Chains A and B, each alone.
Chain A
Amino acid sequence: MSATAMLRVALVGNPNCGKTALFNQLTGSRQKVANYAGATVERKEGRVLAPSGRVLQLLDLPGAYSFDATSPDEAITRDVCYGRYPGEAAPDLIVCVADATNLRLHLRFVLEVQRLGRPMVLALNMMDAAARRGIRIDIGELERRLGVPVIETVAVHRGGTARLVEALDRQALPAPPAALPQGADLHAAVRTLLAATVTMPTRTGRIDDALDRVALHPVWGLTILAVMMFMIFQAVFSWAAPLQDGIELGVATLGEWSTTQLPDGVLKSLLVDGVFAGVGSVLVFLPQILFLFLFILILEESGYLPRAAFLLDRMMFKAGLTGRAFIPLLSSFACAIPGIMATRSIQDPRDRLTTILVAPLMTCSARLPVYTLLIAAFIPERSVAGVFNLQGIVLFTLYFAGVASALIVATVIKRFRGDKSEHALLMELPSYRLPHVRDIAIGLKERAVIFLKRVGGIILTLVVLLWVLASFPAPPPDATLPAIDYSLAGKIGHFMQPLFAPIGFNWQICIALIPGLAAREVAVSALGTVYAMSGSDDTVATQLGPLIAQQWPLATALSLLAWYVFAPQCLSTLAVIRRETNSWKMVAIATGYLFALAYAASFVTFQIASALS
Chain B
Amino acid sequence: MRLSELPQNVAATVAAVEDAGPADPIARRLRDLGFVDGEPVRIVAHGPVQHDPLLVQIGYTRFALRRAEAARIRVVREAA
A and B: bona fide binding partners: yes
The closest CB in chain A to the CB of B60 belongs to A102
Given contacts A101-B60, A315-B49, contact A426 B33 (CB under 8 A): yes
Given contacts A65-B33, A66-B29, A425-B69, contact A323 B53 (CB under 8 A): yes
Given contacts A212-B55, A422-B20, A426-B63, contact A310 B32 (CB under 8 A): no
Given contacts A101-B60, A203-B57, contact A426 B30 (CB under 8 A): yes
Q: Give Cα distance in the complex from A70 to B69, angstroms.
A: 15
Query: Which residues 216-240 of A have a CB within 8 angstroms of B?
Result: 216, 218-219, 221-222
- From the candidates B36, B47, B49, B66, name the one contacting A424 in the complex (CB within 8 A): B66
Contact: B60 with A203, CB < 8 Å? yes
Contacting residues, chain B, for A314 (C-beta < 8 A): 47-50, 52-53
Q: Give Cα distance in the complex from A498 to B78, angstroms.
A: 74
Contact: A66 with B32, CB < 8 Å? yes
Contact: A204 with B60, CB < 8 Å? yes
- From the candidates B44, B61, B68, name the one contacting A428 in the complex (CB within 8 A): B61
- A100 → B minimal CB distance (Å): 10
Given contacts A212-B55, A425-B53, contact A104 B61 (CB under 8 A): yes
Q: Give Cα distance in the complex from A70 to B24, angstroms.
A: 12
The closest CB in chain B to the CB of A186 belongs to B32
Q: Give Cα distance in the complex from A222 to B48, angstroms.
A: 8
Contact: B34 with A429, CB < 8 Å? no
Contacting residues, chain B, for A105 (C-beta < 8 A): 33-34, 59-61
- From the candidates B34, B50, B53, B68, name the one contacting A108 in the complex (CB within 8 A): B34
The answer to whether B65 has its CB under 8 Å from any CB of chain A is yes
Contacting residues, chain A, for B50 (C-beta < 8 A): 314
Contact: B55 with A216, CB < 8 Å? yes
Contacting residues, chain B, for A311 (C-beta < 8 A): 47-48
- A136 → B minimal CB distance (Å): 14
- B19 → A minimal CB distance (Å): 12
Chain A, residues 159-197, CB within 8 Å of chain B (1/0): the string is: 000000000000000000000000000010000000000
The answer to whether A427 has its CB under 8 Å from any CB of chain B is yes
Q: Give Cα distance in the complex from A317 to B49, angstroms.
A: 11
The closest CB in chain A to the CB of B59 belongs to A104
The answer to whether A309 has its CB under 8 Å from any CB of chain B is yes
Q: Give Cα distance in the complex from A221 to B45, angstroms.
A: 12
Chain B, residues 12-35, CB within 8 Å of chain A (1/0): the string is: 000000001000011011101110
Contact: B29 with A429, CB < 8 Å? no
Chain A, residues 389-431, CB within 8 Å of chain B (1/0): the string is: 0000000000000000000000000000000001011111100
Query: Which residues 33-80 of B have a CB within 8 angstroms of A?
Result: 33-34, 36, 44-50, 52-53, 55, 57, 59-66, 68-69
The answer to whether A306 has its CB under 8 Å from any CB of chain B is yes
Contacting residues, chain A, for B47 (C-beta < 8 A): 218, 310-311, 313-314
- B36 → A minimal CB distance (Å): 5
- A226 → B minimal CB distance (Å): 12
Given contacts A108-B32, A187-B34, A424-B29, contact A429 B59 (CB under 8 A): no
- From the candidates B20, B28, B32, B63, name the one contacting A429 in the complex (CB within 8 A): B63
Given contacts A70-B29, A108-B32, contact A429 B55 (CB under 8 A): yes
The answer to whether A609 has its CB under 8 Å from any CB of chain B is no
The answer to whether A264 has its CB under 8 Å from any CB of chain B is no
The answer to whether A450 has its CB under 8 Å from any CB of chain B is no
Contact: B25 with A70, CB < 8 Å? yes
Contact: A212 with B46, CB < 8 Å? no
The closest CB in chain B to the CB of A133 belongs to B60
Contact: A422 with B63, CB < 8 Å? no
Contact: B29 with A313, CB < 8 Å? no
Contacting residues, chain B, for A102 (C-beta < 8 A): 59-61
- From the candidates B34, B44, B62, name the one contacting A104 in the complex (CB within 8 A): B34
- B8 → A minimal CB distance (Å): 12
Contact: B55 with A310, CB < 8 Å? yes
The answer to whether A68 has its CB under 8 Å from any CB of chain B is yes
Query: Which residues 90-118 of A have a CB within 8 angstroms of B?
Result: 101-105, 108
Given contacts A310-B53, A314-B48, A314-B50, contact A427 B64 (CB under 8 A): yes
- A64 → B minimal CB distance (Å): 10
Given contacts A216-B45, A218-B48, contact A313 B34 (CB under 8 A): no
Given contacts A311-B47, A314-B52, contact A427 B63 (CB under 8 A): yes
Q: Give Cα distance in the complex from A362 to B62, angstroms.
A: 30
Contact: B26 with A426, CB < 8 Å? yes
- B12 → A minimal CB distance (Å): 14
Contacting residues, chain A, for B49 (C-beta < 8 A): 314-315
Contact: A313 with B53, CB < 8 Å? yes
Contact: A313 with B52, CB < 8 Å? yes
Chain A residues close to B by CB (< 8 Å) = 65-66, 68, 70, 101-105, 108, 187, 200, 203-204, 208-209, 212-213, 216, 218-219, 221-222, 306, 309-311, 313-315, 317, 323, 422, 424-429
28 contacts between A and B (CB under 8 A): A65-B32, A66-B32, A102-B60, A104-B59, A104-B61, A105-B60, A209-B44, A213-B45, A218-B46, A218-B47, A222-B48, A309-B64, A310-B53, A313-B53, A314-B47, A314-B50, A314-B53, A422-B26, A422-B68, A424-B26, A425-B64, A425-B69, A426-B30, A426-B33, A426-B63, A427-B64, A429-B62, A429-B63
Q: When A and B form their complex, which 3 residue pairs have the shortest distance between CB atoms, in order from nearest?
A: A218-B48, A104-B59, A314-B49
Chain B residues close to A by CB (< 8 Å) = 20, 25-26, 28-30, 32-34, 36, 44-50, 52-53, 55, 57, 59-66, 68-69
Since A313-B64, A314-B52 are in contact, a sample of 18 more A-B pairs with Cβ atoms closer than 8 Å, ordered by chain A residue number, is A65-B32, A68-B28, A104-B59, A105-B59, A203-B59, A212-B45, A212-B55, A221-B48, A222-B48, A310-B53, A310-B64, A313-B53, A314-B53, A426-B33, A426-B65, A427-B64, A429-B62, A429-B64
